[in-house]
Amino acid sequence: MTENPNQPREYDAVLGGESQVPLSAAVLGGIPGVKSRLASPIVEVKIAALSEALKYGEPGLELIIGALQDESIAVRFAAYSLLKDRDELNLKGQFQKYLPTYEFDVITVNAQGKENSRRRHYAHFFPEDLGNGSVQEMVYIPGGTFMMGCPARDKYRRDKESPQHQVTVPAFFAGKYSITRGQWQALMGNNPSWLKFEKRPVQVSWDEAVEFCDRLSQQTGKKYRLLSEAEWEYACRAGTTTLFHFGETITRQLVNYEDDYPDRPLHSKQPTDVGSFPSNAFGLYDMHGNVWQWCSDRCHENYNGAPTDGSSWETTNNYRVMRGGSWANFAGLCRSDYRCLVSEGGRRVYGGFRVAVSSSS
């Protein structure tokens, strides 16, 4: 019997590697349809299938749990978001196995630098193998909206930090720490730093930092890059609006930076091992001080015309933006909103970087 070409046929977007469903097709439904769409190479198709799976009770729940093992981080987090509020006893173990977490204390201080709160937080991450046993933990940074730049009323405000403007940043992953000398050596096979300590931040130019990201992308199949300036400030603030994510001031117990104390120990007048000081609420370490961190953006004299979607600002000259301050700077240069504009080609003893990757990779 000849098939009627005008009759809608049962079709699945997975079959034949199609990226779209033909107009005359009827998408396969039920659990079989969810299973077949979860086999798609297209991340968006998988995520849509996970939402549909909730309609089908226990069989659908099992498919969502299974998606915690998906090779796509975006699919894993979509599954996690559907499961995180459920009470099934087996879920916590599944989360830790396929979406591991780590715990840390988040500290705030008063205007005198005295601790006034300490809260226990956790963050999700995935480990990225850099080779030769070296691993970078990539921390999930949830998307959100924040005010970027320095308020007009702030006494520290400079023209290059204004006007303050609202930015919406999509979710992404950022390195838990700045890239270290040991991690650079493992991936790149050389040591550009003047320090030989494995766990100290590597000191490189913007060009070298981008070369590292390109090499890591080739090795992993993910698109690694530097953080955009908006992503960096959003990640540094971690929901805060103060000068520092600790509060309105910092101390030597919280940050490796220069200060006015002549008796400061010699060992702290250089970069320290990454993670030597408390993290922020997103679980990122050394966002203030230690080494400046390269961002992807070209520099601009102010924020007039800046992107509001968290993307990198890629116009004007060959100068780039560095953020966070360093071991050689006073506190005012370590603020969440301070911007340092530097030539991209120069290597500086106080300049490092951390890597980012999209949550859809």
DSSP assignment of 100-112: -EEEEEEEEE-TT
Q: 24 and 9 in contact (C-beta within 8 Å)?
A: yes
* Residue of 52, 55, 57 lying closest to 37 (CA atoms): 52
Q: 29: pLDDT confidence band, cut at 50, 70 and 90?
A: confident
Of 48-52, 191-195, 213-217, where does mean pLDDT reach its minimum? 191-195
DSSP letter (8 states) at residue 41? S
Residue 210: how many other CB atoms lie within 10 Å: 19
Q: Which residues pair with 117 in a beta bridge?
A: 108
pLDDT in tens, 318-337: 789 999 999 989 999 999 99
Task: State residue 7's pLDDT score.
Answer: 40
Rounded to 5 degrees, φ, ψ at 180 are: -95, 165
pTM value?
0.85
Residue 162 half-sphere exposure toward CB, CA atoms < 13 A: 11
3-class secondary structure, 201: strand
Question: What residue ranges of the chain are covered by domains with CATH 3.90.1580.10?
Answer: 102-358
Q: Which CATH number fits domain 102-358: 1.20.120.1200, 1.10.150.110, 3.40.50.300, 3.90.1580.10?
A: 3.90.1580.10
Q: 312 and 171 in contact (C-beta within 8 Å)?
A: no
Q: What is the mean pLDDT of residues 145-174?
A: 90
Q: What is the residue-averaged pLDDT of the chain?
A: 87
DSSP letter (8 states) at residue 222? S
3-class secondary structure, 127: strand
Task: State residue 263's pLDDT score.
Answer: 57
Distance of CA 271 to the CA centre of its chain: 22
Task: State residue 13's pLDDT score.
Answer: 40
* Residue of 218, 353, 336 lying closest to 291 (CA atoms): 353
* Residue of 352, 354, 333, 353 lying closest to 195 (CA atoms): 352
* pLDDT at 2 exceeding the cut of 80: no
* Residue of 126, 70, 75, 97 lying closest to 355 (CA atoms): 126
* Residue of 149, 161, 170, 211 lying closest to 311 (CA atoms): 170
Q: How far apart are CA 109 and CA 136, in angstroms?
A: 29
Evaluate the omega torsion of the peptide bond into residue 41 and state whether it is cis, within 30 degrees of 0. no
* Residue of 112, 146, 113, 140 lying closest to 128 (CA atoms): 140
Give the helix ranges, DSSP H, for 157-205. Answer: 181-188
Task: State residue 269's pLDDT score.
Answer: 74
* pLDDT at 216 exceeding the cut of 50: yes
**Burial label, 275 (beta-carbon count in 10 A; 0-12, 13-18, 19+):** middle
Write the CB contacts of 338 (distance below 8 Å, at least 6 apart in sequence).
156, 158, 161, 323, 325, 332
Q: How far apart are CA 34 and CA 12, in angstroms?
A: 10
pLDDT in tens, 258-267: 875 555 554 4
214 dihedral zone (left: phi>0; alpha: psi -120 to 50; beta): alpha
